[in-house]
Amino acid sequence: MQMLKWWVGALALLALACGEVSEPSTPVVRDGEGLLELPLVSTSAGRSYKLVGATFAITGPQNATITDTSAESVSLALIAGTYSIQMNGDWHVERTDVPGVTVPVTLVSPNPMTFTLGEGESRPVRFLFKVPEDGTADVGIGVDSGGWISGTLQFEASPPPGSRPPSIFDGLNGKSIPFVISYESATVARSSGSYPKQVQVQTAPVTFQLGGAVPEEVMQQFVPALQGRSMEFSVSASGPGYSYAVHLFLENLENGVRLELHPRMIIGADAEGYPLLVPTSMQAGDASLSNGSGYATASLHDGTFAPR
């Protein structure tokens, strides 16, 4: 087996506030509330990055907006519950040492994105951006490098009554849910002397995000169980010059939680016939979500597979 390391820069930008806030503050957290701690600037490898020109709208048990992103950090107390945050405006990313010069980035987080906030909890909210260069920063969460897979999960309509026991996934029936799984690094192993030629990938701990109208039970019981887990997948050559991703899975064995993705796409192969691990559009596929009490299935659409 040949072992390879694949790294890609990633930039995560956080931004929220209630009303227009320009000075950092530490609000009082009352009973029934949690705290969002939201840096807007971060430094890594000697470079600092800032989000410029964005506005944000938060909807949920308490509504809030931000139109002023001049502060370097914002803390915001919100009533505990499940929220959606939408990033709007003519935003861009700059290096703080070169103001006015835009850094090319790709937003990979769902927008709007769903998050939950528990009573007495401090919760960061991460908008993940990828930058095409080495030694980059994640605003608000430190250094990160890696790849990602993103797309939309279209869940099937409600099954016939009585066909299976109720589960936390029932609220997903008939919905379209955007998602992203992002990771810092990956170890890639090539098969030797076998056909079809195959690469197997194991990632560093992942960040798993969902957008749209996600049921509170899924945000509280399913998503947290997969945060920080390692994802595994394999890619096999299916013919001269073509490859396809065979199987991607992310699981928490202790909690009985598992996410499986089976994207279908043309990837291509290198001169030796091994699949190329390069960003590729993902048009179709299927997925399944399960825990100890139930499961859900979905079709996979309109995404990006970027295992670099």
Those residues whose C-beta lies under 8 Å from the C-beta of residue 107, and which sit 6 or more positions away, are 87, 127, 128, 129
What does the pLDDT look like over 278-289, one tens digit per residue?
A: 888 887 899 999
At residue 163, does pLDDT exceed 70?
A: no
Considering only residues 189 and 2, tell me which one the structure prediction assigns the higher pLDDT: 189
124 preceded by a cis bond (ω within 30 of 0): no
Which is nearest to 85 in space by CA: 65, 107, 108?
65
Considering only residues 241 and 135, tell me which one the structure prediction assigns the higher pLDDT: 241
What does the pLDDT look like over 220-267, one tens digit per residue?
A: 999 999 999 999 998 887 766 565 666 899 999 999 999 999 988 877
Residue with tokens 């192993």: 189
pLDDT for the residue numbered 242:
60
Residue extents of the structural domains in the chain: 8-141, 146-308
Residue with tokens 């994802």: 231
The rounded distance, in Å, linking the Cα atoms of 15 and 155 is 30
pLDDT for the residue numbered 44:
59
Residue type, 266: I
What does the pLDDT look like over 53-106, one tens digit per residue?
A: 888 899 999 999 877 777 877 778 999 999 998 888 998 888 888 888 888 878
Nearest-5° Cα angle at 172, 15 to 84: 15
What does the pLDDT look like over 173-229, one tens digit per residue?
A: 999 999 999 987 888 888 776 677 888 899 989 999 999 999 999 999 999 999 999
The rounded distance, in Å, linking the Cα atoms of 116 and 140 is 18
* DSSP element (H, E) containing 217: helix 216-217
CB of 73 within 8 A of CB of 141?
A: no
pLDDT for the residue numbered 32:
95
> What is the radius of gyration, based on Cα positions, of the chain?
20
The rounded distance, in Å, linking the Cα atoms of 89 and 56 is 8
Dihedrals phi, psi of 297, to nearest 5 degrees: -120, 155
Mean pLDDT of the chain: 80
pLDDT for the residue numbered 249:
92
What does the pLDDT look like over 93-129, one tens digit per residue?
A: 888 888 888 888 788 889 999 999 999 999 888 788 7
Which is nearest to 215 in space by CA: 155, 163, 164?
155
Would you state the structure tokens that stand for residue 264, as one six-digit string? 């279908």
* DSSP element (H, E) containing 225: helix 223-226
The rounded distance, in Å, linking the Cα atoms of 126 and 308 is 21
Buried b (16+ CB within 10 A) or exposed e, 255-292: eebbbbbbbebebebeeeebbbbebbebeebebebbbe
Q: Which CATH architecture has domain 8-141?
A: Sandwich (2.60)
Residue with tokens 């705290």: 35
pLDDT for the residue numbered 13:
45
CB of 28 within 8 A of CB of 139?
A: no
215 preceded by a cis bond (ω within 30 of 0): no
pTM: 0.81
The rounded distance, in Å, linking the Cα atoms of 146 and 129 is 11
At residue 132, does pLDDT exceed 50?
A: yes
